[in-house]
Amino acid sequence: MRVLLWNCNNGINKQSQISYFQSFKPDLAVVPELKEANVKSLAPSSYVWLTNNHSNSKPKGLGILAFNGIAVTQLPTDKDMEIFIPINVRGNNFSFKLLAVWNFYWACKQGRFKDVKGDGALEYAALKHYLPILNSPSLIVGDWNLGPTFAQQAFLKICDMVREFGYRSLYHQFYELSEKETRHSTFKTTRDTYHHLDQVFGCPFFQKRLGTFKIHDFDEVILSDHTPILMEFDV
């Protein structure tokens, strides 16, 4: 199973970007900043899309797109938890849970978590809420806007929280690094500084079945400030 994580930066609406996305041949894709109008051109067999920007007529959101006959369905969701979306993924001979994430890090835009920082912030509350109900096998995949090179203490706290439920960062497992380290960047700022902000956490089922974890080079990226992450699992 090929799983793609890619923040597409304001939607996928040009043929060059559509072709780039399709070149990865994903079975499942988690796509922050996707616009719902973009979904049809990507031709998924099933999808879930959610936004928190309800005042915009064409808002960006988070898309979870399945291909090759795989079905995705949204599980009961706390609407105040912004774009943390619990999903059931089902194929012909497998099923698992997915928590898809597009995290605004220090402050969310609506609901009871608006402007909340510190230990009560959305990213921690969402994990406390969803981790106990993400029965194995399961993945947590998304743009967290934090990582080893940015808001490191927050990232390490998240690593500690998911570790209590058996998860670990699959990037750090694959490259045999401590969670304070990285060899790759996934985001480039307008000032040409780089950070590792896109994260994938897997339970033991996926830890044992991870075959490939590839972060693509920024020189190859089309119309985005994030680079795609492609993972292959033997499921």
Report whether pLDDT(105) > 70.
no
Is-contact 169 128, C-beta < 8 A? no
Mean pLDDT of 54-76: 95
- Average pLDDT of the residues of the chain: 95
Residues making up the chain, counted from first to last: 235
Report whether pLDDT(102) > 90.
yes
What pLDDT score does 106 carry?
A: 64
Report whether pLDDT(63) > 90.
yes
What is the Cα–Cα distance from 128 to 215, expressed in whole angstroms? 28
What pLDDT score does 15 carry?
A: 96
Query: Sorting pLDDT into bands at 50, 70 and 90, what band is 210?
Result: very high
What pLDDT score does 55 carry?
A: 86
Is-contact 185 194, C-beta < 8 A? yes
First to last CA, the chain: 6
Is-contact 124 153, C-beta < 8 A? no
What is the Cα–Cα distance from 231 to 201, expressed in whole angstroms? 12
Which of 138-142, 189-193, 210-214 has the weakest average pLDDT? Answer: 189-193
Report whether pLDDT(97) > 80.
yes
What is the Cα–Cα distance from 232 to 177, expressed in whole angstroms? 19
Report whether pLDDT(54) > 90.
no
Write b or e for each residue in 16-26: b if 16 or more Cβ atoms lie within 10 A of its Cβ, otherwise e. Answer: ebbebbeebeb
Query: Sorting pLDDT into bands at 50, 70 and 90, what band is 178?
Result: very high
Which of 53-57, 86-90, 125-129, 229-233 has the weakest average pLDDT? Answer: 53-57
